[in-house]
Amino acid sequence: MKIAVISGSQRPNSQSLKVARYLEERVAGLCEGSSVYLLELGTGPLPLWDQSMFTGDPSPLKEAWAPISAALTEADAIVVVTPEWHGMVPPALKNFLLMCSKELANKPGLIVSVSASLGGSYPVVELRTSGYKNNRICWIPDHVIIRNVSKMLNGDPASEEEKTVVGRCDHALRILVEYGKALRAVRESGVADYDTYAFGM
């Protein structure tokens, strides 16, 4: 099982990256033989989407995207860690989703939202509402919201609240792995015709 973990904050040393690294480690503990590809949008943000993605012409964007696309294509499931920024998902993460097409199609996705305070709901709603139409990622019903994130996942769980977060993360990751196995059957069925239906409705 290969799992891609995306840290969606566009600043280095973010809390999102801390959480992404934690989940990377937990996946290894929970799913024997798994491997994780961690994509960090903070230290290596992608150039903004440009027309070369449609025309196929060589461009700095296509060059940057090629290895990421290859790693995502290999993945069975994806975890997206997103901070809440002004009540929404950061632009770098939306830009990333714009880049994705067949790489994520019919693969399960786990949304993990983080907030410095008591926010975190808006990015979940945003990702569930928009951004999946053309890349066909399948967000699983469970998601995780980590509030007061700077006090969470810094070492041994210190509070009851943190123990709840740890339990939630494990539960959601376990379910994600099972969806990862199950949705392989959909992808291998051959019914998806994305040459004819390149874009969702």
| 174 binds ligand FMN, rule: CB under 6 A | no
The residue from 15, 106, 113, 135 that contacts ligand FMN (CB under 6 A) is 15
The residue from 22, 85, 96, 179 that contacts ligand FMN (CB under 6 A) is 85
| 45 binds ligand FMN, rule: CB under 6 A | no
Query: Whose structure tokens read 């024997």?
Result: 32
Least Cα distance to 17 among 149, 165, 138, 160 occurs for 149
| 9 binds ligand FMN, rule: CB under 6 A | yes
- Please give the Cα distance from 17 to 38 (Å, whole number): 9
The residue from 33, 58, 86, 185 that contacts ligand FMN (CB under 6 A) is 86
Q: How far is CA 106 from CA 18, 109, 137, 162, in A?
A: 27, 9, 6, 32
Report the first-to-last Cα separation within the chain, whole angstroms.
30
The residue from 117, 154, 159, 164 that contacts ligand FMN (CB under 6 A) is 117
| Nearest distance in Å: CB 49, ligand FMN | 21
- Please give the Cα distance from 163 to 149 (Å, whole number): 13
| 123 binds ligand FMN, rule: CB under 6 A | no
| 149 binds ligand FMN, rule: CB under 6 A | yes
- Please give the Cα distance from 190 to 168 (Å, whole number): 34
| 119 binds ligand FMN, rule: CB under 6 A | yes
Q: How many residues bind ligand FMN (CB under 6 A)?
A: 16
| 156 binds ligand FMN, rule: CB under 6 A | no
Q: How far is CA 47 from CA 53, 70, 82, 117, in A?
A: 12, 17, 19, 30
Residues that bind ligand FMN (CB under 6 A): 9, 11, 14-16, 83-87, 114-117, 119, 149
